[in-house]
Structure 1
Amino acid sequence: MTRQSTDQATPEDGQETSLEAGLAAALAHLNQGRAEAAAACAAALARHHPAHPAVLQLIALIAMQRGETAQARHHIAQSLALRPDHLPSLLIAGRAALADRAPAQALPHLLRACALSGNAVEPCYLACVARRQMGSADALAELGQLIQRAPGFAPAWIELADAMRQAGQPEAALAALDRAIALDGNAARTHFQRGKVLYGQKRLAEAASAFGHAAALEPRSREARLNLAIAQQELGELAAAQDSLETLLAAHPDDYDGWIKLGLVRQDRHDLAGAQAALRSALACRPDAAPAAVNLGIVLQADRQPDAALAAYAHAFRVEPGTFGRIAQALCSGPHGRLWADLGALRALLATLGHAQD
């Protein structure tokens, strides 16, 4: 990825010098991964220069690094309104829309960036990505042409690998990723994509190694940690999976998927109290998540808490009536199950308990 820049203006007075210094300090923090320090600098700049395009661009960059794509798109749109043909801003707008799964909105920005840059590699590559996400029949051919023009551009090889993986050609995908790693072995995305291909081939140990490499290169990566934990769990490495999930959740405490997976891993390790705590955290993140409520009921049932288990099942049934079959099966299974001969009565009981929770 190209080094971030706000294309600062030449200072003409004390205020402009202060603006340039503030932008430089924020970008230094951002380029070194210190998003919170960069955000503090940006907030101070915004108080004095709320409508300056470079400040708005900086705020968008910080939002992108935090994964706040909607905020990034909002602020970069404001910046572009003030300087419509600013090339770095067009690229940020395109990247933000792609990250937000809005390729049709990304493409005009990227095509304009292509035109302004004389069809430079990066905007052309991002335009290919947008076309791929839109399902364009010509996108893969355009990507191949770009690789022929710039064979040393690693992101294009990664994109080609993803296309090969989706086309059911894992060996071709791995070959493209090997080329990307040879060009830039320190790109976390490359190792993550390699892990996805290997996991799809059921090569779990190799997949876990690739995901672990990605997580080491990008410690705050949610996707790398979560997929590493999934591979570790399937390998039976439960302690390692728990460590991976707890590391993920320390960085992303509102991650529903991380909490529910941690609950299941702790359950597999016979830590029923820990499993309950994790599943309750999952429900705190998404109160209407029926799978978390059903799994909580199962754990409570195993922990000899039948009333609490019924309450959890009732919550799941209230938010998703389609869970009834699984609930009925769970209630009569295991050493502490209860057999319900009258499923109509069970359904009525769950409905009554669910209404009582409202």
Structure 2
Amino acid sequence: MTKPSTDPSAPEAALAVALEAGLRAAITHLNQGNIDAAASYAAALIGRYPMHPAVCQLSAQIALQRGDATLARRHIAQGLSLRPDHLPSLLIAGRAALADDAPAEALPHLLRACALSGNALEPSYLACVARLQVGAADAVTELGLLIQRAPGFAPAWIELAETMRKGGELQAALAALDRAIALDGNSARAHFQRGKVLHALGRKAEAADAFASAVSLEPRSREARLNLAIAQQELGGLGAAQATLEALVGAHPQDYDGWIQLGRVRQDRRDLPGAQAALRSALACRPDAAPAAVNLGIVLQEAGQPDAALAAYAHAYRVAPDTFGRIAQALCSGPRGRLWADLGALRALLASLGSPGNPGSTQD
């Protein structure tokens, strides 16, 4: 299918036809789940018709689905400047602001959507979410009223459960999540939140099952995979945890949490070269992450590379001096440890070695 013409000399009627064809193609790809193709059409459209409200709305929707909430907010702000009370655009603006961790900016859009829609379910629910996130005094009350009005609406039960979990009411949160799953068993978020509650209750095997259900329903969820791996590791399933984490970092190569957890699992499995590689990847994601540098030092020390270990420890000490106690303990531990009677001398050595660079890169 031909993308919309960008020739400024094209007749107005031809441009209108091209606009309609481009919008239709982008929407078709979006509905088919081909987000990259939809984004390609949207980019061509926004370049040619930056002031067209439908193009702005579509571009915002696609950006939001691709996880770029900041870009979505920019596109939808332009669209709302052209049609301020357009209900779908207000909902996209609210969702984008929530995804961008800006609930206070989402709330006005969502309250306006409530007013325009006669407090329809979707804007009312999203407004409740924004209220909860900004800590509004009436947030829980409004959520309770919404559940009374629509007891079969699973997302509201999930939101109630999360509020209860944060308040320490774990059994009540679990009951709310069971209700949500009974209403919508295909909600990955409900299974994920249930896993968090079960884990907090110490029911780790059930938590792992819940996280696994969330991953099967939403394979792209890095949070679900990470929590599944942690539960698997705690249950002693190191091989399963490693496979889960390798899938996670394969899909999200810049995921610091995934890499450092993979390093820990490989270390537990005595795969010291693999642990080193994972921890270096974690540091590539976050060069100033002291925990990854300390863990790398421990692994290098276990591998019989004391000088490289000291370089890693020095890097950790440079970026976070409060890690000194753990470093000193690690240096004295294990069969390859070193005893430092003069901690002042150790501090001076770490400070002298702690220059920016690739920690632990020297070999013995």
- Residues 183, 255 of structure 1: CA spacing in aligned structure 2 closer, same or farther, 3 A cutoff? same
1:205 paired residue number: 205
Counterparts of residues 1-358 of structure 1 (less than 5 Å)? 13-355=13-355, 357=357
The letter of the residue matching 1:254 is: Q
Distance apart, 1:53 and its partner CA: 2.2
Contact kept, 8 Å, 2:61 with 2:92, in 1: the verdict is: yes
Instruction: Kindly provide the CA deviation profile for residues 27-53 of structure 1, in whole angstroms up to 9, marking residues without a partner as x.
Output: 333344433222222122223223322
Q: Secondary structure at the match of 1:136?
A: coil
The letter of the residue matching 1:108 is: P
Instruction: Kindly provide the CA deviation profile for residues 159-184 of structure 1, in whole angstroms up to 9, marking residues without a partner as x.
Output: 11112222222222222222211221
Percent of paired sites with the same residue: 76
Contact kept, 8 Å, 2:315 with 2:356, in 1: the verdict is: no
Cα distance in 1 for partners of 2:318, 2:120 equals 55
2:362 paired residue number: none
The letter of the residue matching 1:59 is: S
Instruction: Kindly provide the CA deviation profile for residues 249-299 of structure 1, in whole angstroms up to 9, marking residues without a partner as x.
Output: 111111111111111111111111111111101111111111111111111
The letter of the residue matching 1:218 is: E
- Residues 248, 303 of structure 1: CA spacing in aligned structure 2 closer, same or farther, 3 A cutoff? same
The letter of the residue matching 1:267 is: Q
Distance apart, 1:99 and its partner CA: 1.8
Give the gaps of 5 or more residues in structure 2.
1-11, 359-364
- Residues 28, 161 of structure 1: CA spacing in aligned structure 2 closer, same or farther, 3 A cutoff? farther
Cα distance in 2 for partners of 1:323, 1:46 equals 50
TM-score normalised by structure 2 residue count: 0.91
The letter of the residue matching 2:337 is: G
Cα distance in 1 for partners of 2:287, 2:71 equals 25
The letter of the residue matching 2:148 is: Q
Distance apart, 1:356 and its partner CA: 7.1
Distance apart, 1:54 and its partner CA: 2.1
Cα distance in 2 for partners of 1:357, 1:246 equals 26
Q: Which moved more, 1:191-200 or 1:178-187?
A: 178-187
Distance apart, 1:331 and its partner CA: 0.8
Distance apart, 1:131 and its partner CA: 0.9
The letter of the residue matching 1:224 is: A
Contact kept, 8 Å, 2:26 with 2:39, in 1: the verdict is: yes
Give the gaps of 5 or more residues in structure 1.
1-11
Cα distance in 1 for partners of 2:161, 2:118 equals 26
Cα distance in 1 for partners of 2:343, 2:162 equals 47
Distance apart, 1:58 and its partner CA: 2.3
Distance apart, 1:63 and its partner CA: 2.4
The letter of the residue matching 1:113 is: A
The letter of the residue matching 2:273 is: A
Distance apart, 1:62 and its partner CA: 2.4
Number of residue equivalences: 347
The letter of the residue matching 1:168 is: G
TM-score normalised by structure 1 residue count: 0.92
Cα distance in 1 for partners of 2:168, 2:183 equals 24
Distance apart, 1:26 and its partner CA: 2.4
Instruction: Kindly provide the CA deviation profile for residues 207-234 of structure 1, in whole angstroms up to 9, marking residues without a partner as x.
Output: 1111111111111111111111111111
- Residues 194, 25 of structure 1: CA spacing in aligned structure 2 closer, same or farther, 3 A cutoff? farther
Cα distance in 2 for partners of 1:357, 1:210 equals 41
- Residues 177, 328 of structure 1: CA spacing in aligned structure 2 closer, same or farther, 3 A cutoff? same
Q: Which moved more, 1:66-75 or 1:320-329?
A: 66-75
Q: Which moved more, 1:276-285 or 1:78-87?
A: 78-87
